[in-house]
A and B are shown apart, each in its own frame.
Chain A
Amino acid sequence: NAGVMQNPRHLVRRRGQEARLRCSPMKGHSHVYWYRQLPEEGLKFMVYLQKENIIDESGMPKERFSAEFPKEGPSILRIQQVVRGDSAAYFCASARTGQETQYFGPGTRLLVL
């Protein structure tokens, strides 16, 4: 039973480009959470989604960031016009139902040059 998958594992972008981070939840899991870990800092919640719905986006920056979890396919975290401060590790976690244990993926390390 494969765990949570994220790709790419490493992503390099120049300032102003777009970054797309993908998260495939564990089989049978319909809830996805995104977290960000800035260098030398702790993990911070960004957004919580169910299939086709955003449930809680209170941790998302107001501009340039968006997330989706379509009926088919992986969840996508999209960062437009990236800046150096977006350089971080982005982790997603999935759960079978909203209240159950969250299992994390290996993360995507974004570096903005």
Chain B
Amino acid sequence: DAKTTQPTSMDCAEGRAANLPCNHSTISGNEYVYWYRQIHSQGPQYIIHGLKNNETNEMASLIITEDRKSSTLILPHATLRDTAVYYCIVRVVETSGSRLTFGEGTQLTVNP
């Protein structure tokens, strides 16, 4: 799986949009971009994933650049409960299934 690079930490004001970047310059054509978060040692929580097109769900939006070498996770209105470590994972999706390889992630702190 391609390696990802994320900032170690970020801060965001409550109610503002949180934009979390991820670089994956060696991504292959058959690799998806997945985002998970882990709130204070709880189980990782799936947020969103995409291949080429931008995606949006009830939690967040995922913007993938045209060359697919980077992406941004957007939490439109961050709350204190969004404070967590956010993981950007690039994953080959095969019919037989594949592991998730977690990096260091970005510690997002939402401030009141």
Contacts and interface: CB of A to CB of B under 8 A. Distances in A.
Interface of A: 4, 31, 33, 35, 37, 42-45, 48, 50, 55-56, 59, 89, 91, 93, 95, 97-99, 101-107
B96 A98 contact: yes
Prevailing SS type, chain B contact patch: loop
Given A104-B45, A105-B43, A107-B42, A99 B94 contact: yes
Contacts of A4: 43
Q: Which 5 A/B pairs are nearest by Cβ-Cβ distance?
A: A98-B97, A104-B43, A45-B99, A43-B102, A99-B93
Contacts of B103: 42
A35 B38 CA distance: 13
A26 B77 CA distance: 30
Contacts, number: 63
User: In which size bucket is the chain B interface?
Assistant: 20 to 34
B99 A59 contact: yes
B46 A102 contact: yes
Contacts of A106: 42-43
A21 B38 CA distance: 21
Contact of B98 (A50, A98, A104): A98
B21 interface: no
12 contacts: A4-B43, A37-B41, A42-B105, A43-B38, A91-B43, A98-B94, A98-B96, A99-B97, A99-B98, A101-B46, A102-B100, A104-B46
